[in-house]
Structure 1
Amino acid sequence: MSWWLWLPFGILLCIFVYAILPDLFLHRLGIGSWKRQYSSGVALTFDDGPDPVYTPQLLNILGSNNIPAAFFVVGEKAQQNPNLLKAILAQGHQIGVHSLKHRYAWFQSPWTTWHHWDEAVAAVEQITEKPVQWIRPPWGTFNLALWFWIIIRKKKAVLWTSEGHDWKVCNKPDQIANRVLEHINEGSIIVLHDSGGQMKAPENTLKAVEILCRRIGEEQKLPIIKLEIPTWSMTRRLTYRFWEMWENGFAKLYKIERISANNLLRLSQKRYKGPTLYSSEGRLLAKDGDIVGEIHFDNARFMGKETDSQLIALKALREIRSSLSEVAAYIKQNPNYAEIKVFLGLTLIHRGVKGLGFEVNDVPITLNTRLIAFLQRFILKIYHPGGKVRAQKMNKTYPKLVFITRDELIYRWLN
């Protein structure tokens, strides 16, 4: 067969290897990139800036709402507006790089790709005097040269899970916010734009950000947190993701609810199955078939970087106390919990709970309690700081029933 018959095939193969394959792995599948974060809550990010008109307004909105964000800046715009980068950092926000000239990766040669990203990173680092860790290519598109550049330069490509299409001026603030809210969950990365797009489109973005600062906490019960990308292997990321999907399904099935964006505890109601439950004074609290309240740890809220066990314990105790006060106020005001006499949980973590007003009962060691113990040890390994070591120490520990009456919960934590 003549060489010219192979030429179209060779061209298509080169396009596939150089453009389509890297984009498939990094953009579509998230292999080699980070399409979400693994801390509790959602992260807010902005592309295409900095902009001398809109970025200062955005910083004011974020500051007044005490909301952190990450800005992925275009290298040339950063060079033109160095003081804006310094203002972003001064207000506690984070900076990544969004290329040098905002060009589509598929149409850039290998040498242009390499040169532009090196120049963009160098420009931002010279202004901020901080190393750049994260990059995000325009439109989230990659080519083979950029993939190699990311690996050799040891950068992390950070993408997103939710976007508002705010670069279109026809999309109004409520539309932008609604689109974002449709696609967020624990771990989501939101992308919006403080520059670029159609003329005056960022004006809608600014209003949408104010809406999102309120609605994400009120409606989704999620905090807006700093972007944090861990040094996890793909195996751990997949394990976390599959377990998170299972937990979300379990919470939906059993109607386990969050009561606020930052509370460490979640609530549900269930039909009690077990021996008749009495208080320490002998008062009947629940018998088989009664509806009781159930308290659950919101495991994602325990994610953290601390390794000192004493610091972890002190922080957890402080946050548990704050959470219990919020739970007490919630059940007092919520008519759905007005008839609940007792709140309980079956847990391995029962040491010290008496000091919080709970009572503790032993339960028979059955196949069910062994299974619960196994699952809770697994949860410790996945979510909790130092959880693997702690789970090993609990190999011979079994869950106990901890409970508190509604009256005691309200009296102790609201007074």
Structure 2
Amino acid sequence: MRCTFLHDVYLAIAIFLALWVLYAPLAELLFHVLHITSIHRGDELKRDVTLTFDDGPDPEYTPQMLDLLDAHRVRAVFFLIGEKATRYPELVREILRRGHLVGSHTAHHRNAWFLTPWQTFREVRMAAAMIERVTHEPVVWFRPPWGRFNLFLPLALRSSGQTPVLWSIAGRDWLKGLQISAIAERIAKRFHNGAVILLHDSGGAPGAPANTLRALEQILPVYREMGFQFTADPVLYAMKAKTKRNGSFPRVSQRLIHPLWRVWEKLFDRLYSVYPMSRMFRLSLVSWRLGPRPEAGLIDGVKVVEIHLQNLAVQELQRVKPVERMAIRGLREVRDSLHDVALALLYDKRFQEGQAIFGMTMIHRGMENLGFHVEDIPDTLLNRWIKFLLSLIMSLYHPEGRKRFTHGLEAMHPRLMWMSREELITRYGPGAAKSLRATQQAMAEVATSQPPDMEP
């Protein structure tokens, strides 16, 4: 009898745990890790970044944060706890008066993993009602505490017209004993186009928001110098742009395969620390393995910055007609992006070691006139693999798809493009005069050639 009872108890516990895993951790995987229905980053082609602040408003730290953001011309998103918004309505109105956006962070900052479905709906609706009574505007943004989801939270948000906003960079500024430099370092290590950065203007360890203030004082001037804009709305823009881009492929096969390929690209970038840092280029710091270049002081093993094309940017360029206009616009965007790359080598700690920039690409016509050294690369097994990848990406992004293979692909081959650090900064660094004649020559040469293709 006793054994049967214990068996039933253990079985009940096992069933309960299995159901809870489906209810909470599985939902976390779907909606947080895989970002189904949620937003976590802005447009990777734009040098816009969104600062977000959770757990406020706070009568001590929120006014200081607002003053700091004003001083650096920053517009942010504040995710408010409903009961705090009710307690400090003037602070909420001041946030809006300063030009920032507000969203909901639930009514009582409760973990969705441990809420029943009824409690989940109640937290979402109650928080929205509390905030709307102060702002007289509908709440459209929502951030779950700790980023936690259960299976019913997306339904509750959908029914109330709210979009979940997560983050691509977490400052972890709420931790006890975290130094100011550690917060700044965590942000700097993963900084990128379209970043959504999670910070706090309230809560956490005692005095933690003061560290956040000091960390922002350190990093905001640096990224302003690099040309980044801190705005409140790139996430909304990116959501619309993403829908437009995913629906812009002319072929059914491209529309089917492209989402899977984008997942692979994101995984590749994550594994190899590749960051979108300009409209045209993603950057990564690697070791040079292509032999000595005495004129530039390059030897195998020195750190260099590898540039990868932003394939979505090139895809957008290919819709520009006629081809001459496309080529001119493309060269201008490459030129402007090289300025951004030069600033990254000067100011971004991740890339300051770089002694040169380089890439392997099929897009090399006219690149010498932009300052690149363009060389043949050996016909090795690795380089054949690179050519295959370039061809595959072309079929995914090019408007003609695989038909592009039959129009001169056999004559195309990847080449090495590189530019020394000194050459890059002299030509494209702060205050450097752009060589208009060289750019015009490059534009003329590319305008008479075939449309550009793609690279990884």
Same fold? TM cut 0.5:
yes
The CA deviation at 1:46 is 1.6
Corresponding position of 1:204: 211
Corresponding position of 2:265: 243
1:271 partner SS: coil
Sort the Cα spacing of 1:47 and 1:271 in 2 relative to 1 into closer, same or farther, 3 A: same
Corresponding position of 1:324: 338
Equivalent residue letter for 1:13: I
The CA deviation at 1:117 is 0.7
Corresponding position of 1:96: 103
1:48 partner SS: strand
1:70 paired with 2:74, answer no
Sort the Cα spacing of 1:305 and 1:388 in 2 relative to 1 into closer, same or farther, 3 A: closer
2:123 partner SS: helix
Please give the alpha-carbon distance, in whole angstroms, between the structure 2 residues aligned to 1:94 and 1:304: 32
1:68-95 CA-to-partner distances (Å, cap 9, x unmatched) read 5332222233345556555545656443
Match of 1:118 among 114, 121, 125: 125
Corresponding position of 1:37: 41
Equivalent residue letter for 2:66: L
Corresponding position of 1:192: 199
Match of 1:271 among 287, 290, 299: 290
Counterparts of 1:210-221 in structure 2 under 5 Å? 210-213=217-220
Please give the alpha-carbon distance, in whole angstroms, between the structure 2 residues aligned to 1:53 and 1:239: 47
Sort the Cα spacing of 1:325 and 1:15 in 2 relative to 1 into closer, same or farther, 3 A: closer
1:244 partner SS: helix
Please give the alpha-carbon distance, in whole angstroms, between the structure 2 residues aligned to 1:174 and 1:404: 34
1:389 paired with 2:399, answer yes
Please give the alpha-carbon distance, in whole angstroms, between the structure 2 residues aligned to 1:167 and 1:410: 38
Please give the alpha-carbon distance, in whole angstroms, between the structure 2 residues aligned to 1:213 and 1:331: 17
Sort the Cα spacing of 1:170 and 1:345 in 2 relative to 1 into closer, same or farther, 3 A: closer
Equivalent residue letter for 1:244: K
Counterparts of 1:289-328 in structure 2 under 5 Å? 297-300=307-310, 309-310=319-320, 317-325=331-339
Match of 1:49 among 56, 73, 78: 56
- Please, which moves more after superposition, 23-32 or 400-409? 400-409
1:373-411 CA-to-partner distances (Å, cap 9, x unmatched) read 4423555688xxxx4537667434434647688698777
Sort the Cα spacing of 1:401 and 1:24 in 2 relative to 1 into closer, same or farther, 3 A: same
The CA RMSD measured in Å over matched residues stands at 5.5
1:13 paired with 2:15, answer yes
Please give the alpha-carbon distance, in whole angstroms, between the structure 1 residues aligned to 2:311 and 2:303: 21
- What are the ranges of 5 or more consecutive residues in structure 1 without an aligned counterpart? 253-257, 278-284
1:136 paired with 2:137, answer no
Sort the Cα spacing of 1:392 and 1:171 in 2 relative to 1 into closer, same or farther, 3 A: same
The CA deviation at 1:187 is 7.3
The CA deviation at 1:301 is 9.1
Please give the alpha-carbon distance, in whole angstroms, between the structure 1 residues aligned to 2:121 and 2:344: 55
Equivalent residue letter for 2:111: Y
The CA deviation at 1:24 is 0.9
The CA deviation at 1:350 is 4.1
Counterpart contact for 1:48–1:72, Cα < 8 Å: yes
1:113 partner SS: helix
Please give the alpha-carbon distance, in whole angstroms, between the structure 1 residues aligned to 2:180 and 2:12: 47
Counterpart contact for 1:172–1:204, Cα < 8 Å: yes
Please give the alpha-carbon distance, in whole angstroms, between the structure 1 residues aligned to 2:135 and 2:76: 16
TM-score, scaled to structure 2: 0.60
Equivalent residue letter for 1:50: P
Matched pairs, number: 388
Sort the Cα spacing of 1:234 and 1:216 in 2 relative to 1 into closer, same or farther, 3 A: farther
Please give the alpha-carbon distance, in whole angstroms, between the structure 1 residues aligned to 2:157 and 2:210: 33
Corresponding position of 1:281: none
Corresponding position of 1:280: none
Counterpart contact for 1:369–1:399, Cα < 8 Å: no
1:170-198 CA-to-partner distances (Å, cap 9, x unmatched) read 44423444455567778765422112335
1:196 partner SS: coil
1:309 partner SS: coil
Corresponding position of 1:255: none
Please give the alpha-carbon distance, in whole angstroms, between the structure 1 residues aligned to 2:58 and 2:65: 10
Sort the Cα spacing of 1:238 and 1:187 in 2 relative to 1 into closer, same or farther, 3 A: farther
Please give the alpha-carbon distance, in whole angstroms, between the structure 1 residues aligned to 2:171 and 2:353: 36
2:399 partner SS: helix
The CA deviation at 1:205 is 2.2
Counterpart contact for 1:69–1:93, Cα < 8 Å: yes
Counterpart contact for 1:169–1:204, Cα < 8 Å: no
- What are the ranges of 5 or more consecutive residues in structure 2 without an aligned counterpart? 247-254, 347-351, 434-456
TM-score, scaled to structure 1: 0.65
Sort the Cα spacing of 1:262 and 1:66 in 2 relative to 1 into closer, same or farther, 3 A: farther
Counterpart contact for 1:372–1:399, Cα < 8 Å: no
Equivalent residue letter for 1:195: S
Counterpart contact for 2:124–2:157, Cα < 8 Å: no
- Please, which moves more after superposition, 310-319 or 24-33? 310-319
Sort the Cα spacing of 1:65 and 1:410 in 2 relative to 1 into closer, same or farther, 3 A: closer
Corresponding position of 2:27: 26
Corresponding position of 1:376: 390
